[in-house]
């Protein structure tokens, strides 16, 4: 009876979009699995070979799907599916395609992204993953960090929800900075999501 009640009260649904390995996505899934009112109900990817899909398949309560450019940009297939699901929040966790305006307009202030730098620096098209960390190091920045922001029609330009800084050490490498940023993402991104859905 308790487990049935718990499922009934999980009334806040998160949809995760991911393009790559899906470590952030899986971390979010794991964080909310024991949660009383919030759960990840779906994970979608534009990449049929994404590790994120395989990670999500391991969780039996999550619906997993792959889509192509046509269903995302040229038709309303993806838009209609999202409207049917009615998520409380859409979370981009390493999702590399630009979100269509029609979906952004249908879910105002309900789509968020995490960026591995301190926006507005090092944002924009092509600035993801190691490209960001390399640019930070090449410009001899003294700090980097993470930024959680709302998604708009322009890459990485939505209102900032949360930022956290970390020092860039003198001997920092792309790999060491990436690892440091990942730890920050894993710890803070689920907490930011939880806070947004509790307001």
Sign for the pseudo-dihedral over CA of 32, 55, 113, 176: positive
Q: Which residue has the higher pLDDT, 31 or 8?
A: 31
CATH number of the domain enclosing 3: 3.40.50.170
Same structural domain, 15 and 41:
yes
- Per-residue pLDDT tens over the stretch 78-115: 999 999 999 999 999 999 999 999 999 999 999 999 99
115 is catalytic: yes
Tokens coding 139: 């410009």
5, 35, 66, 115: the active-site residue: 115
β partners of residue 149: 113, 160
Q: Are strands 89-92 and 12-17 parallel, antiparallel or unpaired?
A: parallel
Question: Can you give the pTM of this predicted structure?
Answer: 0.92
Residue 45 belongs to a domain:
yes
- Per-residue pLDDT tens over the stretch 21-34: 999 999 999 999 99
Per-residue three-class SS string for 77-115: HHHHHHHHHCCCEEEECCCCCCCCHHHHHHCCCCEEEEE
The domain of 198 spans 115-147+164-199
Same structural domain, 86 and 178:
no
Q: If pLDDT is split at 50, 70 and 90, which confidence band does 9 have?
A: low
- Are the C-beta atoms of 133 and 181 separated by less than 8 Å? yes
Residue 59 belongs to a domain:
yes
Residue 120 belongs to a domain:
yes
Residue 158 belongs to a domain:
no
Residue 152 belongs to a domain:
no
Same structural domain, 33 and 104:
yes
Question: What percentage of the chain has pLDDT greater than the value 90?
Answer: 87
CA distance 113 to 67: 19
């Amino acid at each position: 009876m308790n487990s049935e009640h718990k499922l009934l009260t999980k009334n806040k649904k998160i949809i995760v979009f991911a393009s790559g390995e899906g470590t952030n996505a899986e971390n979010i899934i794991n964080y909310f699995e024991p949660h009383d009112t919030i759960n990840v109900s779906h994970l979608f990817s534009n990449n049929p070979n994404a590790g994120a899909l395989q990670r999500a398949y391991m969780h039996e309560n999550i619906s997993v799907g792959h889509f192509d450019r046509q269903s995302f940009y040229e038709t309303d297939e993806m838009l209609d599916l999202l409207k049917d699901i009615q998520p409380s929040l859409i979370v981009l966790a390493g999702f590399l395609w630009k979100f269509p305006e029609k979906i952004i307009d249908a879910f105002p202030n309900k789509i968020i992204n995490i960026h591995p730098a301190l926006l507005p620096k090092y944002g924009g098209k092509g600035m993801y993953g190691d490209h960001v960390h390399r640019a930070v190091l090449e410009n001899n920045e003294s700090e980097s960090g993470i930024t959680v922001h709302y998604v708009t029609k322009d890459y990485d330009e939505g209102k900032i929800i949360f930022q956290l800084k970390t020092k860039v050490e003198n001997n920092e490498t792309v790999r060491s900075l990436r690892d440091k940023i990942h730890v920050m993402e894993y710890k803070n991104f689920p907490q930011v999501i939880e806070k947004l859905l509790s307001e």
